[in-house]
Structure 1
């Protein structure tokens, strides 16, 4: 009998490839999000680097407040290198894509009719008790790990980081914004 090494390789691939594929997660927003429970203050634990956060060193928060028209006020704040607080104010709106698919703009209100001023803001994961959340984008250019507390347990962070990697986010580039317990 002739030895055929490719048969062994084919068997290994048939067994292991489905397991690897099963470990991947779709990069999509959560199907259910209770926006009222999501409102309030969140502390950033980590984020992918982006130019509009380059001045932030710590104490990074996002505060969401309901507006009368159904939209959500967004206030992002952080402490800068010189010790001052910096903030940016915007508005978020729901979409009909999925409950966790929001759009946010930080441009002036008079520009809100322009589609390019609205950016995708996808809640990818949220704790059943709304104690933590992971937010990203369809392009995988943006990623934030958020917590109601100023710190997060290391095991919890690593689990969320792993799930983000399964969605294809470049987690090796994550910038830590807060200490882990």
Structure 2
């Protein structure tokens, strides 16, 4: 039963790129970060804001940890604490393959044959803040290396989303980013 629940969660995770939104005007061209460096992207990222997607339903605090693998792929561990009284933790593991500048194809071990596009739309020069989206516009995230994001980088991240056709009014902010709401 636990394996079935894990498989269901992974399917929702990948299908979520097609089940929410869309949160962006797909007639607006979307572009990924041309100078993206996968090695600098490794490490822990805190979710600051996201567009609502089914696979993160109930998440109040989420992180993503990327690591370098010997074959050039990145390991991916997504963790979420839900809003239940006990703050249960959900986790899923997988990998990301670089498919172009700032473009990754992400898959998870519980659904090995399904991969989803994951585009890094912008990352600041210090690799402290990143904006991620998908061409369909059905998902998107603002990530930061710490749980609290400075207002200037949040404003920049929101501008990147808007430039790529996203409706930032539909973002939901993580419980770990209480200052984020006052950045605009």
Indicate the residue corresponding to 1:160 in structure 2.
157
* Structure 2 residue corresponding to 1:118, chosen from 112, 115, 118: 115
Indicate the residue corresponding to 1:140 in structure 2.
137
Map 1:91-106; keep pairs closer than 5 Å.
91-95=95-99, 98-106=100-108
Deviation for aligned residue 1:172: 1.1
More contact order relative to length (CA 8 Å, sep ≥ 6): 2
Q: Which sections of structure 2, spanning at least 5 residues, go unmatched?
A: 1-27
Q: Does 1:56 align with 2:56?
A: no
CA distance in 2, matches of 1:66, 1:121: 17
Deviation track 1:137-172 (CA, whole Å, cap 9, x = no partner) reads: 111111100000111122321231122112111211
TM-score w.r.t. length of structure 1: 0.77
Indicate the residue corresponding to 1:172 in structure 2.
169
CA distance in 2, matches of 1:147, 1:37: 13
Deviation for aligned residue 1:91: 1.0
Indicate the residue corresponding to 2:48 in structure 1.
45
Deviation for aligned residue 1:26: 4.0
Aligned residues: 149
SS state at 2:179 partner: coil
* Pair member with larger Rg: 1
Indicate the residue corresponding to 1:78 in structure 2.
80
Deviation track 1:46-73 (CA, whole Å, cap 9, x = no partner) reads: 0000000002112x11000112222111
Deviation for aligned residue 1:28: 1.1
- The answer to whether the 8 Å contact 1:94/1:103 transfers is yes
Indicate the residue corresponding to 1:35 in structure 2.
38
- The answer to whether the 8 Å contact 1:152/1:179 transfers is no
- The answer to whether the 8 Å contact 2:129/2:153 transfers is no
Please identify runs of 4+ aligned residues in structure 1 that moved more than 6 A.
Answer: none
SS state at 2:118 partner: strand
Q: Which sections of structure 1, spanning at least 5 residues, go unmatched?
A: 1-24
TM-score w.r.t. length of structure 2: 0.75
